[in-house]
Amino acid sequence: MVQSTELRDCRVLLVDDTKTNIDILVQALRAQYKLGVALNGRKAVEYARTHKPDLILLDIMMPEMDGLEACAALQNMEETRSIPIIFITSMGDSEHKSRGFDNGAVDYVTKPFDVSEVKARIKTHLSLKIIRERLEQQNLRLEERVRERTQEIVRTQAEIVNRLGLAAEYRDEGTGNHIKRMSEFCRVLGRALGMSSMELDMLAQASTMHDVGKIGISDKILLKPGKLTDEEFAIMKTHTTIGGNLLSGGDSELLSMARIIAETHHERYDGGGYPGGLAGRDIPLSGRIACVADVFDALISSRPYKPAWPWSKALAEIEQGAGTHFDPHLVELFLNEQDHLQRIASFLP
């Protein structure tokens, strides 16, 4: 229901080159609405652009710019396109009525006009405009609530993914800094490839799950300080498929990428990796990125079976693996980002 106070706040622009008609309309409407007046189409367009009336009562037959031209001009401007226009036309002038509707008018009144009819039509269309604006505002509020809720779900999902990654990492090494460094190394590579900020966030978040499958590996193998036997290594390799199974079945883009990374971050560019023996571009890009980042961080980190490698030796190992272990293009980009990599390693020791 539209309140009378809402209607009184509306501004109506009266456009007619005949002063007598303007005087009649002003006398009839001034108690109900705020009014504006223009004596030709050009002034009406200028007034509408400046004052943004809520409705325009527009005569068709006027000098300089007639009502049809004025209506077309108003429809062509973004700031005035939504203003409802009621044409004033002569009785029986069907051609102008038709052209008026074609140009965007919502209604018409005929000359000589009946004041009560004019007032009723103005009230109807202003009420419709107010209701439409209420609905638009309500839709905006609903869209904002949906957007906020969606962002909350995305944040929660990312946090769960990160916590699961940390759970696997704590079992393996007692620290979560490996997955944090590794995910930031992935972000560096993704940025060098020209990924968008949204893609970079997803890549960094998904990569934290690369070793989640280690949850299914026994401590006897996972924490063994020495070299694994062939049988133990075969079991260790199953963490890729375990991780893929853990992350499969959902329809989330984030979990889908996390599954791909978990399954493919040990594939080699020459086809000698596991679990699928994929080669070259058959390895998904996210898996190829994670492979470089994971190996590099493993080299510069202390593990139960080895000390941390010096920075230069680790970079040399990555460079040597271009085309065999790693995607050569990614290696080139990675080596060009040493400053960024060192800052990450220093911030997350």
What is the overall mean pLDDT for the chain? Answer: 87
pLDDT the model gives residue 172:
58
Tokens encoding 77: 């401007």
Residue at token pair 């893929």: 244
Say whether pLDDT at 301 is over 80.
Answer: yes
| pLDDT tens-digit series, residues 256-283 | 899 999 999 999 999 999 999 999 999 9
pLDDT the model gives residue 209:
86
Percent of the chain, pLDDT > 90?
45
Please determine whether the domains at 4-141 and 175-347 fall in the same fold group of CATH.
Answer: no
Every domain of the chain and the residues it spans: 4-141, 175-347
Residue 104 Ramachandran class (φ > 0 left, ψ -120 to 50 alpha, else beta) = left
Find the helix or strand (DSSP H, E) in which 152 lies: helix 115-173
pLDDT the model gives residue 236:
92
Mean of pLDDT values over 109-120: 87
Mean of pLDDT values over 88-99: 71
Say whether pLDDT at 164 is over 80.
Answer: no
Lowest mean pLDDT segment, chosen from 205-214, 299-308, 334-343: 299-308
Closest CA to 206 of 263, 161, 166: 161
The domain defined by 175-347 carries CATH number 1.10.3210.10: yes
- The band of 43, judged by pLDDT with boundaries at 50, 70 and 90, is very high
Mean of pLDDT values over 106-116: 85
Say whether pLDDT at 62 is over 60.
Answer: yes
The 3-state DSSP class for residue 206 equals: helix
Say whether pLDDT at 293 is over 90.
Answer: yes
- pTM, to two decimals: 0.58
CATH superfamily of 4-141: Response regulator (3.40.50.2300)
**Residues 289/267, Cβ–Cβ less than 8 Å:** no
Say whether pLDDT at 212 is over 90.
Answer: no
pLDDT the model gives residue 345:
84
Residue with the larger pLDDT of the pair 107 and 324: 324
Tokens encoding 287: 């898996």
Closest CA to 122 of 171, 93, 86, 95: 86
Question: Would the CA dihedral through 301, 295, 249, 154 be positive or negative?
Answer: positive
